[in-house]
A and B are shown apart, each in its own frame.
Chain A
């Protein structure tokens, strides 16, 4: 029989005004196992905690029930206090008589009655509580950052700065991500490469950081502190350690008519290429789909002229296996394919471009050397129409590939484009069609207003209905002006579509490997929308950048830094203390059905073949569930799914829960 002490808190008048706390304490004296009851003004205060500790010692208590606020508030406080007095923390239960009782009842009679019932349930549970000890697991002091854009770069730099080893896995041949393609950044208009490339160099030079470029994560097993990751280092047919990045091969390669992805296909690259001058690592890569040597065994020019002898046509994909303590998902985004929006004539006219394409057309390092020209005929555009929300803010079913959410960055980059155009070519007519202008951010609205007031950009509330290419090469834009209640017909030279952004397609596959949850839009879900915004619900997996939701560069950098601090917090521990309230299968009852394995959101359950002695003294091999306590988060999904009742959650066993229900119904 347990010796249980019950402590009823007044919480000032928060509880005492609606619950007769003295009557509760008095009534509970009669409960089985209860040897002591008391009420006190503030149980969470130092004096209140002392009362609990003294009573544990004097009355030799084996269980404690505190009737107070929500366990989310002070369960940890009371458990710590009990542990100091020598009682196992998990012998303490909290009956929530504030949020679930005093705050929602008006009269004292019903409030008091309910408080007694809630306390009885907690007492019934403590009767069946058993001391629990959290397990310890070691931590591998190395982090993996998946994605080498600005999110991954910032995160890796911050982790390395704290002294831990970091690996970046980037699927492209260089790190840098989307920011390398962007011309200027809002709202300050500083050049994106000028602020990004020093960081890329810093990554390359940092001894704690290792870059796996042109590589992808192949498999992830293990759990927080102890991930085993397989990385596929794709064959780039160039020895990274020998290549000096001189670029001689790219000029001599005879296959020169390959659309250059970096410049959004506005110019061509060769089959062996370095994406851009500041690439990190600055190493050439051979595109196997276009290389004549790899396809037909004829050519070999690059190998002949390479003075470093770095070309290796026989290179194979390499699988690297590495252990990590923490993983950051920073897989980034792409803009959606706008070709299904026939009304905008993207497929019909070269002069209808997406905003990212427009970035390249404005970029000094772009295909036109920064001189804005129409892609179709190279003429200077005199009238440019920007269309916002192309594919954003759509209602399901979003048949054309649109998204329900606001892509967040388009209002600002469109204002930036408009300002840049007016700044470089002041006699250009610039129209921006908007549904709402959304500019929350430091100096953001001021920036947008500057576009209107200082640069004379025509912002029109309304949407473009259709873009019709004309015989003379112009584009007839038909749109509504809702404020003038008019339909406009604008003869434009270029139309720029602010296409919605979506998570990179690789994210879903990665999420499956990480057992990290995603929302319906394939953005990684955070552990708590407000209070744990950089952690995935899966322990040891952290989130940075647009992989978690649409955000601009400053926000991405903030989140990457926050994710890094969480990683550092994890890696700084030698041992991880687990939560002892984990699932616990009864192997004798388990029928091997795999129901629990299927519902486990964390991948904590596996199956193993085990030998069991039968009643007739033979040995049978049965397949039974095994729970990895370091991975299990104690959600309890498996206990509900288990048809044979073999799965139980420590600290919340089926028996304990039934005892609580019985006590309430008594």
Chain B
């Protein structure tokens, strides 16, 4: 299975449904922090240009807020594509993006516990 098929399988997204309106990137709250934006994730998966995505920090800048999923007029679900690329990267590296010993330095008094739980879930599959 090539990378593209793998990502389509994990995400369950048909990237061909995209009509390239850019509403996902128009709505994205993390846009400025991302090297590759939601619409680029969808397009680059469609063209099979996936390696730059896997090596990009953008994967970990997506908040998984799902605003793009909620607002996409074509039901493409870009956040699921990003999630799938993230999973694919983690599987490929065989390593976690977030290690347990890093956690204490990331914590301050304002961090809700729920964030830690969801961060582990998201970054250490």
Contacts and interface: CB of A to CB of B under 8 A. Distances in A.
A394 B73 contact: yes
Interface stretch (B2-10, B31-39, B88-96): B31-39
B25 interface: yes
B117 to A, nearest CB: 28
Contact of B25 (A389, A394, A402, A480): A480
Contact of A462 (B21, B32, B75, B76): B21
Majority secondary structure, B binding face: helix
A393 interface: yes
A479 interface: yes
Contact of A395 (B32, B37, B71, B73): B73
A481 B37 CA distance: 12
Interface stretch (A63-71, A120-128, A463-471): A463-471
Contacts of A190: none
Given A343-B71, A465-B71, A480-B23, A487 B17 contact: no
B74 interface: yes
A396 B72 CA distance: 11
A478 interface: yes
B73 A389 contact: yes
B19 interface: yes
A435 B28 contact: no
Contacts of A402: 73
A463 B17 CA distance: 16
Interface residues of B, number: 22
A487 B73 contact: no
Interface in B55-78: 67, 71, 73-76
B124 interface: no
A488 to B, nearest CB: 8
Given A462-B21, A485-B37, A487-B37, A478 B27 contact: yes
Nearest to A466: B27
Interface string A385-397: 0000100011111
Name the interface size band of chain A.
20 to 34
A258 interface: no
A478 B39 CA distance: 15
Nearest to B76: A395
Contacts of A435: 19-22
B74 A464 contact: no
A482 interface: yes
A478 B75 CA distance: 20
A491 to B, nearest CB: 16
A461 interface: yes
Nearest to A463: B23
B48 to A, nearest CB: 20
B26 A465 contact: yes
Nearest to A341: B71
A487 B21 contact: no
Contacts of A462: 21-22, 25-26
Interface in A451-476: 461-466
Contacts of B74: 393-395
11 contacts: A343-B71, A394-B74, A396-B75, A462-B26, A463-B21, A464-B23, A479-B22, A479-B26, A480-B22, A482-B20, A487-B31
Given A394-B73, A435-B20, A462-B26, 12 more contacts: A343-B27, A389-B73, A397-B75, A465-B27, A465-B67, A466-B26, A466-B27, A479-B22, A479-B26, A480-B22, A480-B24, A485-B37
Interface of A: 343, 389, 393-397, 402, 435, 461-466, 478-482, 485, 487
Interface of B: 17, 19-28, 31-32, 37, 39-40, 67, 71, 73-76
